Amino acid sequence: MTKITDVRLRRVLDSRGNATVEADVATESGGFGRAKAPSGASTGEFEAIELPVNEAIAAAREEAVPRLIDDVFAGDQRGVDATLRAADGTDDFSTIGANSAVAISMAAAKAGADVAGLPLFQHLGGTFRGDTFPVPLGNVIGGGEHAADATHIQEFLAAPVGAPSVQEAVFANAAVHQAAGELLEERGVPSAKGDEGAWAPAIDDSEAFEVMAEAVERVENDVGFEIKFGLDMAGAELYDSDAGVYQYGDKSRDTDEQIEYVADLVAEYDLVYVEDPLDENDYEAFAELTERVGDRTLVCGDDLFVTNVERLETGIEADAANSILVKPNQIGTLSDAVDAVELAIENGYDPVISHRSGETEDTTIAHLAVATDAPYIKTGTVGGERTAKLNELIRIEQNA
């Protein structure tokens, strides 16, 4: 291990053209790491706090950087992350910002890997775990908070579960995306793209299911292996807490009706993955849905858990969900994210590593997914910031 000698922070662009934090970490032996913080649009109420970028950079320079330089080893990831926690002094990174914290945390991990002469997934795996490859979930059709005037359900996700390699899975997702675009064109539906590169057509959810099912079938027939699909429903965004209903345009469903609706979708479309089907505070409803369909699909908590060990513990006690979405910027550091992964695995929950809608070309999550043996990774399907992760997974598979 070698001590950190320099931490530099700067404002750079994310995929939406908004500002985000980039961190450089250098060590006394010449090790170097660079990382960028992503940003979400559909965010959970309990996520760590993302500060305005200039404010986050200024606060981190004042509070965190002096504690890291010449006192902390880049190869000691938990030491780096504990220092960031201590410098911030809050539970939610509201002092220095989770955007500064996660950028520094990931950059330090890369610097540590550079010093050790290891790829990042092996460096993280040495501390944590990891030797298998995740199935990429590709965002094909989307709406919700990611695209105006499109579907109420936020994401329709291709899942090439039968792919014999990461490379073939990546290209299968791209083919499903292309097939969906062709089907929409055949139906005379003009389609722009949402934040994550998914098609954002002005169609209702039922038609989106038809297009998705046909696109998956077309590509499945071409590639010769099984492709299924899943959903991110972003239930907290659909839920009207005042009325106590899930609002789909002019149609509303109470909680029991929402559970029935999701269970019917799982049965009808053989869904392998359903993320945030219910409100972020409704552990009881998550538990009821999990009891009904958890033996057939992953019921994944994103806003429900926000990569937070305490919220995951509550979910485990309630038997709510059987999977957790893991986003390092939701909790602020790699160590905190891995703690959530470890607790999930110990209790039979599957971790799914995920990007955000406001992304960068940073590829840390591809390495994190491999290092933690995650069965799935959400990266989107198209767009430079999305394909950066997918191409990195292909490289990892080839060189592992």
Which residues are part of the catalytic machinery? 196, 327
Contact by Cβ (8 Å): 96, 21: no
Q: Residue 115 region, left (φ>0) first, then alpha (ψ -120 to 50), else beta?
A: alpha
- Helix, strand, or coil (residue 15): coil
Contact by Cβ (8 Å): 115, 74: yes
Choose among 372, 148, 342, 343: nearest CA to 354.
372
Return the structure tokens found at 289: 């849905």
H/E stretch holding 34 reads strand 32-36
Q: Is the Cα torsion angle 73, 76, 80, 86 positive or negative in sign? A: negative
Beta strands in 233-297 (DSSP E): 239-240, 245-248, 251-253, 273-275
Rounded to whole angstroms, the Cα distance separating 134 from 53 reads: 32
Rounded to whole angstroms, the Cα distance separating 102 from 121 reads: 17
Contact by Cβ (8 Å): 166, 136: yes
Contact by Cβ (8 Å): 116, 123: yes
Rounded to whole angstroms, the Cα distance separating 318 from 312 reads: 10
H/E stretch holding 6 reads strand 4-13
Q: Is the Cα torsion angle 326, 329, 331, 333 positive or negative in sign? A: positive
